[in-house]
Amino acid sequence: PDDATAGGIRPGACNLLAESMPNEFVVHTTGHELKGLSAVYEYLDAKVANSMPGARVLAGWPPPPWGQRGPGPKPARVSVIVGCGVSMVTIDIIVDELYAIDSSTAPPLRNGGAMREPLLRCFATQVMYFKERLDAGEMRMVLMKLKDAVVHAKAANTNNVEVTLVQWGVQVRRQFDIDNLALTTRDADTGMAQLVHVMKNISDAVGNIAAQQREAAIAVDTLGAQQREARAEA
């Protein structure tokens, strides 16, 4: 929490949480219990859901309405990268190369495994923050490994891999912002400002989809023309 004092981080966090939500939610984040108050707490088993309001506040995001859990944060979507014209087969190749997934890896992490989806979300998150980390000069070895994996899967070449990853990241970030609008909009923004922000993101996303459709139509027309020429020559 802001303005931590000598009282310690734990008391400061407890007080910050108590300002933002009922104590019934606070204890799921601080690790305390309310079983001494009522036997009903012996039966409640929703610790993950009840800890979400506290996690949001401690992460610096605004709390949900008082007494409500509210929607939790949504992860970055790998499907956005598929929407950029990359096949899921190619993405799986990138992910396996990036995280060293092979026949010796635990089956849940392999393609089709129960833990594959979290791995894909990790990949989408790395793509989303690629430009930010590149500009800051951070995690150079990680960024190099990511670029090498993309080139390995033939999704880009060494000359355009950074540009490609930046383009993917822009699209992933745009969808991430839309998905997490309830959490990421600033409290100081008016309702109209928030609406304008949402509409701009949606407009940009629709524009990108339209551009991809036009490119696909051009590619189909070009292929058709080539096939007609080949038949005419035959």
CA 20 to chain centre: 25
Distances, alpha carbon 102 to alpha carbons 32, 98, 99, 116, in Å = 42, 11, 9, 13
d(CA 66, CA 11): 21
DSSP for 88-146, written as a single string: HHHHHHHHHHHTT--TTS-GGGSTTSTTHHHHHHHHHHHHHTHHHHHHHT--HHHHHHH
Handedness of CA 86, 89, 90, 94 (dihedral sign): positive
Answer for the pair 150, 94: CB distance below 8 angstroms, yes or no: yes
Global pTM? 0.59
Name every residue whose Cβ is closer than 8 Å to that of residue 103 and which is 6 or more positions away in sequence: none
pLDDT of residue 17: 79
pLDDT of residue 53: 81
d(CA 151, CA 97): 10
pLDDT of residue 194: 56
Q: Note down pLDDT in tens along the chain; length 234 residues.
A: 556 555 566 777 777 777 778 877 787 777 777 777 777 667 666 666 777 788 778 878 787 778 777 776 789 999 999 988 899 999 999 999 999 999 999 999 999 999 999 999 999 999 999 999 999 999 999 999 999 999 999 999 999 999 999 999 999 998 998 888 766 664 545 555 556 556 666 666 666 666 666 666 666 777 777 777 777 776
pLDDT of residue 165: 95
Name every residue whose Cβ is closer than 8 Å to that of residue 98 and which is 6 or more positions away in sequence: 123, 126, 145, 146, 149
pLDDT of residue 61: 79
pLDDT of residue 26: 81
pLDDT of residue 188: 46
Taking the chain, what is the end-to-end CA distance rounded to the nearest angstrom?
75
d(CA 197, CA 178): 9
pLDDT of residue 28: 75
d(CA 184, CA 102): 37
Largest CA distance in the chain: 88
